[in-house]
């Protein structure tokens, strides 16, 4: 069964550093998403991406964050100048037609 | 704005029993989808079941079924013949334009 692949599975970074979280969505999917889950809390929407541009973003997704689809297969989330409160599980998801989402296994980001 | 509410933070049942997890939602969308996701300790998000709002028939997937009450905006999940492997966090989610909105989750424990 097709999968959404996320790398790395765990990333530790120092406060103030930039991180790039990588995702390979399912190949025939058209919609891509990033979600965040702070430990013990609910899953929160960050951003959706369609047709090579952001289609919607939450208030969490400020200038510190950016997304890119650099080569037609990867979908990346960049977090600039990381803060302690950015520590969370980050999930990538993809969807063919918005009625079914496949999630990756997540990247656990720890900011120290 | 879309909201999803899960009023049961934790539930615990004996193996082989039936358990029902509650979810209510609010949306202004006319056509939408509802989902239940399972999150085991590995923290991966696994789709359990999906309901299309325009379909009156309740969705079923093996031991999992939903009770979808559109007028009441209620979407509960019933797990029959519960198994130890069903122990996990369960999240209800509503799909509106461009994103999923998740509830706070219910931690379900199946006891031997």
Task: Calculate mean pLDDT across residues A74-89.
Answer: 96
Here the tokens at position B8 are: 């049961």
- Find the residue in A nearest to B1 (Cα): A58
Is the Cβ–Cβ distance between B105 and B90 less than 8 Å?
yes
- Binary contact (B100, A102; C-beta < 8 A): no
Instruction: Tell me the pairing of strands B19-21 and B46-52.
Output: unpaired
Is the Cβ–Cβ distance between A78 and A18 less than 8 Å?
yes
Contacts of residue B43 in chain A, CB cutoff 8 Å? 37, 89, 105-106, 108
Contacts of residue B44 in chain A, CB cutoff 8 Å? 103, 105-106
Residue A97, pLDDT score = 80
Distances (CA, A) of B98 to A43, A64, A83, B25, B111: 15, 21, 27, 17, 38
Among candidates A41, A48, A100 on the partner chain, residue whose Cβ is nearest the Cβ of B99: A48
Q: Which residue has the tokens 């809390």?
A: A41
Q: How far does chain A reach from its first CA to its final CA, in angstroms? A: 36
Q: What is the pLDDT of residues B51-85, one digit of tens each?
A: 999 888 999 999 999 999 999 999 999 999 999 99
Residue B96, pLDDT score = 75
Contacts of residue A58 in chain B, CB cutoff 8 Å? 99
């Amino acid at each position: 069964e097709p999968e959404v692949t996320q790398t790395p599975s765990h990333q530790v970074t120092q406060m103030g550093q930039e991180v790039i979280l990588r995702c390979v969505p399912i190949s025939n999917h058209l919609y891509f998403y990033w979600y965040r889950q702070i430990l013990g809390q609910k899953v929160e929407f960050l951003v959706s991406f369609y047709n090579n541009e952001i289609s919607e973003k939450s208030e969490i997704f400020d200038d510190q964050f950016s997304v890119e689809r650099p080569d037609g297969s990867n979908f990346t989330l960049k977090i600039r100048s990381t803060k302690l409160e950015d520590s969370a599980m980050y999930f990538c998801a993809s969807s063919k037609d918005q009625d079914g989402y496949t999630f990756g296994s997540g990247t656990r980001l720890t900011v120290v | 704005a879309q909201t999803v509410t899960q009023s049961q933070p934790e539930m615990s049942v004996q193996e082989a029993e039936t358990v029902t997890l509650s979810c209510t939602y609010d949306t202004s969308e006319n056509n939408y989808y509802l989902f239940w996701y399972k999150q085991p300790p590995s923290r991966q998000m696994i789709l359990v079941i999906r309901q299309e709002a325009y379909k009156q028939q309740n969705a079923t997937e093996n031991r999992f079924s939903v009770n979808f009450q559109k007028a009441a905006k209620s979407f509960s999940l019933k797990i029959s013949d519960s198994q130890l492997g069903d122990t996990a966090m369960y999240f209800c989610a509503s799909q509106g334009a461009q994103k999923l909105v998740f509830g706070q989750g219910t931690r379900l424990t199946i006891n031997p």
